[in-house]
Chains A and B, each alone.
Chain A
Amino acid sequence: MNIFAMLAKNLRLGIQTIRFPARPPVTAAFRGLVRFDPALCSGCAMCRFRCTARAITFTAGKSTFTWSYDPGQCTFCGRCVEGCKDHALSQDSACPPVYLTIGTLKKAYTLQRKPPAEKAAAPPDPSHVSPPGAS
Protein backbone atom coordinates (compact mmCIF):
# COMPACT_ATOMS: atom_id res chain seq x y z
CA MET A 1 0.00 0.00 0.00
CA ASN A 2 1.10 3.56 -0.66
CA ILE A 3 2.62 5.16 2.44
CA PHE A 4 0.23 8.12 2.36
CA ALA A 5 -2.73 5.73 2.17
CA MET A 6 -1.26 3.94 5.18
CA LEU A 7 -0.97 7.21 7.13
CA ALA A 8 -4.56 8.13 6.24
CA LYS A 9 -5.72 4.72 7.42
CA ASN A 10 -3.81 5.20 10.69
CA LEU A 11 -5.51 8.55 11.22
CA ARG A 12 -8.89 6.99 10.55
CA LEU A 13 -8.37 4.00 12.84
CA GLY A 14 -7.41 6.26 15.72
CA ILE A 15 -5.19 5.91 18.76
CA GLN A 16 -4.31 2.38 19.84
CA THR A 17 -2.28 3.32 22.89
CA ILE A 18 -2.98 2.01 26.36
CA ARG A 19 -3.16 5.17 28.46
CA PHE A 20 -0.87 5.25 31.50
CA PRO A 21 -1.41 3.85 34.18
CA ALA A 22 -3.75 1.21 32.71
CA ARG A 23 -2.21 -2.17 32.03
CA PRO A 24 -2.99 -4.49 29.15
CA PRO A 25 -4.55 -7.89 29.97
CA VAL A 26 -2.26 -10.92 30.04
CA THR A 27 -2.81 -14.25 28.31
CA ALA A 28 -3.80 -17.41 30.13
CA ALA A 29 -0.32 -18.90 29.78
CA PHE A 30 1.47 -15.90 31.32
CA ARG A 31 4.05 -16.90 33.93
CA GLY A 32 3.88 -14.28 36.67
CA LEU A 33 4.57 -14.17 40.40
CA VAL A 34 4.92 -17.48 42.24
CA ARG A 35 2.28 -17.92 44.95
CA PHE A 36 2.96 -20.06 48.00
CA ASP A 37 0.32 -21.84 50.07
CA PRO A 38 1.88 -22.61 53.48
CA ALA A 39 -0.86 -25.08 54.42
CA LEU A 40 0.12 -27.50 51.68
CA CYS A 41 3.91 -27.36 51.93
CA SER A 42 5.65 -30.44 53.36
CA GLY A 43 9.17 -29.04 53.38
CA CYS A 44 10.76 -31.32 50.79
CA ALA A 45 12.86 -28.40 49.38
CA MET A 46 12.49 -29.71 45.84
CA CYS A 47 11.66 -26.16 44.73
CA ARG A 48 14.95 -24.86 46.10
CA PHE A 49 16.79 -27.63 44.26
CA ARG A 50 15.05 -26.90 40.95
CA CYS A 51 15.25 -23.08 41.15
CA THR A 52 17.54 -21.71 38.42
CA ALA A 53 18.11 -18.30 39.94
CA ARG A 54 18.33 -19.14 43.66
CA ALA A 55 15.26 -17.07 44.35
CA ILE A 56 13.95 -19.69 46.78
CA THR A 57 15.88 -20.33 49.97
CA PHE A 58 15.22 -23.08 52.47
CA THR A 59 16.62 -23.39 55.95
CA ALA A 60 15.77 -26.50 57.94
CA GLY A 61 15.45 -26.40 61.71
CA LYS A 62 14.61 -29.03 64.30
CA SER A 63 10.88 -29.00 63.87
CA THR A 64 10.46 -25.88 61.78
CA PHE A 65 11.75 -24.77 58.46
CA THR A 66 12.00 -21.37 56.82
CA TRP A 67 11.08 -20.97 53.20
CA SER A 68 11.54 -17.67 51.37
CA TYR A 69 11.00 -16.38 47.87
CA ASP A 70 12.43 -13.19 46.33
CA PRO A 71 10.58 -12.03 43.19
CA GLY A 72 13.45 -9.64 42.50
CA GLN A 73 15.77 -12.60 41.97
CA CYS A 74 13.26 -14.81 40.18
CA THR A 75 13.36 -15.49 36.47
CA PHE A 76 9.76 -16.84 36.32
CA CYS A 77 10.72 -20.08 34.61
CA GLY A 78 8.18 -22.21 36.53
CA ARG A 79 10.46 -25.11 37.41
CA CYS A 80 9.56 -24.84 41.10
CA VAL A 81 5.85 -25.01 40.30
CA GLU A 82 6.40 -28.07 38.12
CA GLY A 83 8.47 -29.82 40.77
CA CYS A 84 6.23 -29.27 43.80
CA LYS A 85 4.49 -32.56 44.51
CA ASP A 86 2.24 -30.99 47.15
CA HIS A 87 0.92 -28.34 44.72
CA ALA A 88 1.77 -25.63 47.21
CA LEU A 89 3.22 -23.39 44.48
CA SER A 90 1.36 -21.81 41.61
CA GLN A 91 2.03 -19.03 39.14
CA ASP A 92 -0.59 -16.42 38.54
CA SER A 93 -0.90 -13.48 36.20
CA ALA A 94 0.41 -10.79 38.54
CA CYS A 95 3.61 -8.95 37.60
CA PRO A 96 6.09 -8.16 40.35
CA PRO A 97 5.80 -4.54 41.46
CA VAL A 98 8.40 -1.81 41.04
CA TYR A 99 10.53 -1.30 44.17
CA LEU A 100 13.21 1.02 45.52
CA THR A 101 15.60 -1.07 47.63
CA ILE A 102 16.99 -4.55 47.00
CA GLY A 103 15.28 -7.16 49.12
CA THR A 104 12.00 -5.31 49.64
CA LEU A 105 9.98 -7.92 47.80
CA LYS A 106 11.46 -10.96 49.58
CA LYS A 107 8.94 -12.87 51.66
CA ALA A 108 9.87 -15.53 54.20
CA TYR A 109 7.64 -18.07 55.92
CA THR A 110 8.58 -20.12 59.00
CA LEU A 111 6.48 -23.28 59.14
CA GLN A 112 6.15 -26.21 61.45
CA ARG A 113 7.01 -29.54 60.02
CA LYS A 114 3.92 -31.63 59.65
CA PRO A 115 3.89 -34.98 61.54
CA PRO A 116 4.18 -37.88 59.11
CA ALA A 117 0.77 -39.26 58.07
CA GLU A 118 -0.34 -42.48 59.89
CA LYS A 119 0.59 -45.45 57.77
CA ALA A 120 -2.59 -47.30 56.78
CA ALA A 121 -2.70 -51.11 57.42
CA ALA A 122 -0.86 -52.90 54.66
CA PRO A 123 -3.30 -54.28 52.07
CA PRO A 124 -3.18 -58.06 51.55
CA ASP A 125 -0.37 -59.06 49.18
CA PRO A 126 -1.93 -60.80 46.14
CA SER A 127 1.35 -62.64 45.31
CA HIS A 128 1.15 -64.86 48.38
CA VAL A 129 -1.12 -67.77 47.73
CA SER A 130 -2.34 -69.32 50.92
CA PRO A 131 -2.46 -73.13 50.70
CA PRO A 132 -6.01 -74.38 50.62
CA GLY A 133 -7.33 -75.43 53.92
CA ALA A 134 -4.85 -73.35 56.00
CA SER A 135 -6.30 -70.62 58.32
Chain B
Amino acid sequence: MNLWKQCMCYCRRHSPWIFHMNSGSCNGCDIELVAALTPRYDAEQLGVLLQGSPRHADILCITGPVTHTSAPAIHTVYEQVCGPKAVVAIGSCPASTNVFIDSRVLVGPLNRHVPVDVFVPGCPPRPDAIIEGIALAASILARREANPVLGDASQTEVHP
Protein backbone atom coordinates (compact mmCIF):
# COMPACT_ATOMS: atom_id res chain seq x y z
CA MET B 1 0.00 0.00 0.00
CA ASN B 2 2.76 2.41 0.89
CA LEU B 3 4.50 1.74 -2.41
CA TRP B 4 1.31 2.41 -4.34
CA LYS B 5 0.75 5.65 -2.43
CA GLN B 6 4.30 6.79 -3.12
CA CYS B 7 3.89 5.92 -6.78
CA MET B 8 0.61 7.89 -6.87
CA CYS B 9 2.24 10.93 -5.23
CA TYR B 10 5.08 10.85 -7.73
CA CYS B 11 2.71 10.57 -10.69
CA ARG B 12 0.48 13.36 -9.42
CA ARG B 13 3.44 15.68 -9.06
CA HIS B 14 4.61 14.96 -12.60
CA SER B 15 1.28 15.26 -14.36
CA PRO B 16 -0.48 18.49 -13.34
CA TRP B 17 -3.31 19.23 -15.75
CA ILE B 18 -4.61 22.77 -15.57
CA PHE B 19 -7.89 24.48 -16.32
CA HIS B 20 -7.79 28.22 -16.74
CA MET B 21 -10.56 30.52 -15.58
CA ASN B 22 -10.91 34.28 -15.81
CA SER B 23 -12.93 35.97 -13.08
CA GLY B 24 -12.99 39.48 -14.52
CA SER B 25 -9.31 39.95 -15.29
CA CYS B 26 -7.88 42.54 -17.66
CA ASN B 27 -6.46 39.56 -19.65
CA GLY B 28 -2.83 40.46 -18.96
CA CYS B 29 -2.36 37.44 -16.70
CA ASP B 30 -4.28 35.23 -19.15
CA ILE B 31 -1.90 36.18 -21.93
CA GLU B 32 1.08 35.37 -19.73
CA LEU B 33 -0.47 32.02 -18.79
CA VAL B 34 -0.89 31.11 -22.44
CA ALA B 35 2.67 32.34 -23.06
CA ALA B 36 3.83 29.82 -20.46
CA LEU B 37 2.64 27.09 -22.85
CA THR B 38 4.65 28.41 -25.81
CA PRO B 39 7.98 26.90 -26.91
CA ARG B 40 10.18 29.39 -25.05
CA TYR B 41 8.85 28.56 -21.59
CA ASP B 42 7.19 25.21 -22.39
CA ALA B 43 5.16 24.12 -19.40
CA GLU B 44 4.85 20.67 -21.00
CA GLN B 45 8.38 19.81 -19.84
CA LEU B 46 6.74 19.34 -16.42
CA GLY B 47 3.80 17.44 -17.88
CA VAL B 48 1.42 20.42 -17.71
CA LEU B 49 -1.46 20.20 -20.19
CA LEU B 50 -4.16 22.80 -20.70
CA GLN B 51 -7.46 20.93 -20.59
CA GLY B 52 -10.76 21.91 -22.13
CA SER B 53 -12.99 20.59 -19.37
CA PRO B 54 -12.77 21.21 -15.61
CA ARG B 55 -13.47 17.53 -14.96
CA HIS B 56 -10.17 16.63 -16.59
CA ALA B 57 -8.01 19.06 -14.64
CA ASP B 58 -6.20 18.91 -11.29
CA ILE B 59 -5.18 22.52 -10.88
CA LEU B 60 -7.54 25.43 -11.36
CA CYS B 61 -5.66 28.58 -12.46
CA ILE B 62 -7.78 31.63 -11.74
CA THR B 63 -6.97 35.20 -12.81
CA GLY B 64 -8.77 38.40 -12.13
CA PRO B 65 -10.35 40.17 -9.15
CA VAL B 66 -13.55 38.30 -8.53
CA THR B 67 -16.49 40.24 -9.98
CA HIS B 68 -19.90 39.55 -8.50
CA THR B 69 -21.18 38.02 -11.73
CA SER B 70 -18.26 35.62 -12.00
CA ALA B 71 -18.36 34.48 -8.37
CA PRO B 72 -21.13 31.87 -8.92
CA ALA B 73 -19.24 30.59 -11.97
CA ILE B 74 -16.09 30.20 -9.86
CA HIS B 75 -18.05 28.19 -7.28
CA THR B 76 -19.62 25.98 -9.95
CA VAL B 77 -16.37 25.23 -11.73
CA TYR B 78 -14.56 24.58 -8.44
CA GLU B 79 -17.21 22.00 -7.55
CA GLN B 80 -16.84 20.42 -10.98
CA VAL B 81 -13.10 19.83 -10.64
CA CYS B 82 -12.58 16.30 -9.35
CA GLY B 83 -10.42 15.74 -6.30
CA PRO B 84 -7.56 15.94 -5.42
CA LYS B 85 -7.43 19.51 -6.61
CA ALA B 86 -5.45 22.68 -6.06
CA VAL B 87 -6.11 26.33 -6.87
CA VAL B 88 -3.48 28.76 -8.11
CA ALA B 89 -4.31 32.48 -8.02
CA ILE B 90 -2.37 34.14 -10.81
CA GLY B 91 -1.54 37.81 -10.61
CA SER B 92 -2.05 40.20 -7.73
CA CYS B 93 -5.75 40.70 -8.53
CA PRO B 94 -7.08 37.48 -6.97
CA ALA B 95 -4.93 38.07 -3.85
CA SER B 96 -5.86 41.65 -3.20
CA THR B 97 -7.91 43.15 -6.10
CA ASN B 98 -4.85 45.33 -6.82
CA VAL B 99 -5.77 48.65 -8.48
CA PHE B 100 -9.49 47.86 -8.47
CA ILE B 101 -9.64 48.08 -4.72
CA ASP B 102 -12.47 50.62 -4.59
CA SER B 103 -14.64 49.03 -7.24
CA ARG B 104 -18.27 48.34 -6.37
CA VAL B 105 -18.64 45.26 -8.57
CA LEU B 106 -15.95 43.19 -6.88
CA VAL B 107 -16.55 40.65 -4.16
CA GLY B 108 -13.17 40.59 -2.62
CA PRO B 109 -10.08 38.41 -2.80
CA LEU B 110 -10.37 34.91 -4.20
CA ASN B 111 -9.85 33.06 -0.94
CA ARG B 112 -13.26 34.24 0.22
CA HIS B 113 -14.76 31.88 -2.38
CA VAL B 114 -12.43 28.94 -2.89
CA PRO B 115 -9.46 27.71 -0.83
CA VAL B 116 -6.38 29.00 -2.62
CA ASP B 117 -3.11 27.08 -2.38
CA VAL B 118 -0.57 29.19 -4.23
CA PHE B 119 -0.50 32.90 -5.02
CA VAL B 120 1.66 34.02 -7.94
CA PRO B 121 2.14 37.80 -7.55
CA GLY B 122 2.97 40.16 -10.35
CA CYS B 123 1.07 42.44 -12.64
CA PRO B 124 1.28 40.44 -14.81
CA PRO B 125 3.53 37.70 -13.42
CA ARG B 126 6.22 36.48 -15.76
CA PRO B 127 5.50 33.12 -17.46
CA ASP B 128 8.41 31.48 -15.61
CA ALA B 129 6.87 32.64 -12.31
CA ILE B 130 3.53 31.11 -13.36
CA ILE B 131 5.23 27.80 -14.15
CA GLU B 132 6.95 27.90 -10.77
CA GLY B 133 3.57 28.47 -9.11
CA ILE B 134 2.04 25.54 -10.97
CA ALA B 135 4.97 23.29 -10.01
CA LEU B 136 4.55 24.26 -6.35
CA ALA B 137 0.82 23.55 -6.54
CA ALA B 138 1.58 20.16 -8.08
CA SER B 139 3.83 19.19 -5.18
CA ILE B 140 1.15 20.37 -2.71
CA LEU B 141 -1.44 18.38 -4.63
CA ALA B 142 0.64 15.24 -4.59
CA ARG B 143 0.00 14.67 -0.90
CA ARG B 144 -3.73 15.27 -0.94
CA GLU B 145 -6.42 12.69 -0.58
CA ALA B 146 -8.92 12.24 -3.38
CA ASN B 147 -11.87 13.46 -1.33
CA PRO B 148 -10.58 16.07 1.11
CA VAL B 149 -12.69 17.93 3.63
CA LEU B 150 -13.32 21.41 2.24
CA GLY B 151 -11.08 24.13 3.60
CA ASP B 152 -8.17 21.94 4.57
CA ALA B 153 -5.76 23.87 2.39
CA SER B 154 -3.76 24.83 5.44
CA GLN B 155 -3.57 21.32 6.83
CA THR B 156 -1.58 19.67 4.07
CA GLU B 157 2.17 19.47 4.29
CA VAL B 158 4.09 21.82 2.15
CA HIS B 159 7.39 20.84 0.59
CA PRO B 160 8.33 23.56 -1.89
Given contacts A100-B118, A102-B111, A105-B121, contact A72 B40 (CB under 8 A): no
Chain B contacts for A75, CB-based, 8 A = 92, 98-99, 123
In contact, A98 and B45 (Cβ under 8 angstroms): no
0/1 string, B81-94, CB within 8 A of A gives 1: 00000000000100
> How many chain B residues touch the partner (CB < 8 A)?
31
Chain A contacts for B59, CB-based, 8 A = none
Question: At the interface, yes or no: A61 with Cβ under 8 Å from chain B?
Answer: no
Chain A contacts for B39, CB-based, 8 A = 16-17
For B120, give its contact among A73, A98, A101 (CB under 8 Å): A98
Question: At the interface, yes or no: A23 with Cβ under 8 Å from chain B?
Answer: yes
CB distance from A89 to the nearest CB of B (A): 17
Task: Give the docked Cα–Cα distance between A52 and B39 (Å).
Answer: 34
Chain A contacts for B40, CB-based, 8 A = 16-18, 24
For B135, give its contact among A18, A20, A23, A54 (CB under 8 Å): A20
In contact, A53 and B101 (Cβ under 8 angstroms): yes
For A53, give its contact among B41, B98, B129, B131 (CB under 8 Å): B98
Task: Give the docked Cα–Cα distance between A73 and B100 (Å).
Answer: 10
Chain B contacts for A73, CB-based, 8 A = 92, 95-96, 98
Task: Give the docked Cα–Cα distance between A70 and B123 (Å).
Answer: 13
Task: Give the docked Cα–Cα distance between A70 and B121 (Å).
Answer: 10
Interface residues of B in 33-76 (CB under 8 A from A): 39-42, 45-46
CB distance from A108 to the nearest CB of B (A): 16
Task: Give the docked Cα–Cα distance between A95 and B112 (Å).
Answer: 26
Task: Give the docked Cα–Cα distance between A98 and B133 (Å).
Answer: 6
0/1 string, A51-91, CB within 8 A of B gives 1: 01110000000000000001111111000000000000000
Task: Give the docked Cα–Cα distance between A70 and B92 (Å).
Answer: 10
In contact, A52 and B99 (Cβ under 8 angstroms): yes
Chain A contacts for B109, CB-based, 8 A = 102
In contact, B123 and A76 (Cβ under 8 angstroms): yes
Task: Give the docked Cα–Cα distance between A98 and B88 (Å).
Answer: 10
Question: At the interface, yes or no: A38 with Cβ under 8 Å from chain B?
Answer: no
In contact, A71 and B41 (Cβ under 8 angstroms): no
CB distance from B37 to the nearest CB of A (A): 11
Given contacts A53-B99, A98-B118, contact A20 B158 (CB under 8 A): no
Q: List A residues at the B interface (Cβ < 8 Å).
A: 16-21, 23-24, 52-54, 70-76, 95-102, 105
Mind listing 10 A-B residue pairs with CB under 8 Å? A19-B45, A23-B126, A73-B95, A74-B92, A95-B129, A96-B125, A98-B121, A98-B133, A102-B109, A105-B121
Q: Contacts A17-B41, A23-B128, A75-B98 given; 5 further ones with Cβ under 8 A?
A: A20-B128, A53-B99, A75-B99, A98-B121, A99-B119
